[in-house]
Amino acid sequence: MWAGKSAQEAHDILAQPDVLVTNQSDKERQLPKILKLNETIKQTLEVHAKREAALQQLARAMAAKDASALTAALSVAEKADVAPANLQKGREALAAAKAASDQRQNVLDLMMDAHRIADEAFKRAKQLAEDTGIEMVLKSNGSALQVTATTDYDGKSASVDLDVVMVQSDNGKRAEDAERQLASTRKRAEDAERQLTDAERQLTDARGSRACTVQ
């Protein structure tokens, strides 16, 4: 009887005087709700669509492991009332992305400090050589940097070998430590991404079940 009937048509049929109910006041109170049924369903579907879109945006941001994208996606997800568990996974991914960024920056800062210190020391040595009339010659043999200083007064020279390998080894160790930290951070972000993907799949399955129930 009701197949193909609109909310308005259902309302008009039930509003007829020959449709008897136990309590007339119940009929008067419930009939207006039928007219609002379409709007209620529309609003519910819109809320669900926004939530699903926000969840997908969050999943993409987690896959990209980008702090800016995660920040924006979390803001949208919070407004869309995404499940707290999914929000937590997003926050964990954001924390991991920020930690990775901080670790990269720490390595770069250390390298910049090393470069600055070395540059300042070289400039001081060069200035001292110029001020005292000493000829300074730098020569690299691959594993070491030989610095030779020659005095004009007696023509004698002295040299020192700087171990380039030791410097490279120390820098390599720092880079390896940073890489291990990045790998650990990346693993935490991937775990959070997988959990969010599972949650998204469950949401899709639940939506399909609801659709079957309505039909």
Q: Is residue 16 part of a domain?
A: no
Q: Is residue 18 part of a domain?
A: no
Binning the chain into helix, strand and coil, the percentages to the nearest 5 are: 75, 10, 15
Q: Is residue 24 part of a domain?
A: no
Judge if pTM exceeds 0.85.
no
Q: Which domain holds residue 204?
A: 36-214
**Phi/psi of residue 140, nearest 5 degrees:** -105, 135
Q: Is residue 193 part of a domain?
A: yes
| Tally of domains within the chain | 1
DSSP letter string, 120-147 = HHHHHHHHHHHHTTEEEEEEE-SSEEEE
The pLDDT of residue 85 is: 93
The bridge status of strand 157-163 relative to strand 144-151 is antiparallel
What are the residue ranges in the chain where pLDDT is below 50? 165-169, 212-215
Q: Is residue 12 part of a domain?
A: no
The pLDDT of residue 43 is: 85
Q: Is residue 47 part of a domain?
A: yes
Q: Is residue 5 part of a domain?
A: no
The amino acid sitting at 114 is A
Q: Is residue 92 part of a domain?
A: yes
Q: What does the alpha-carbon distance between residue 40 and residue 98 come to, in Å, rounded to a whole number?
A: 41
3-state secondary structure 178-191: HHHHHHHHHHHHHH
The pLDDT of residue 72 is: 96
Of 70, 51, 39, nearest to 192 by C-alpha is 70
The residues, ordered by sequence, that sit 6+ positions from 196 with a Cβ below 8 Å of its Cβ are 55, 58, 59, 62, 86, 89, 90, 93
The pLDDT of residue 161 is: 85
**What does the chain come to in residues?**
215
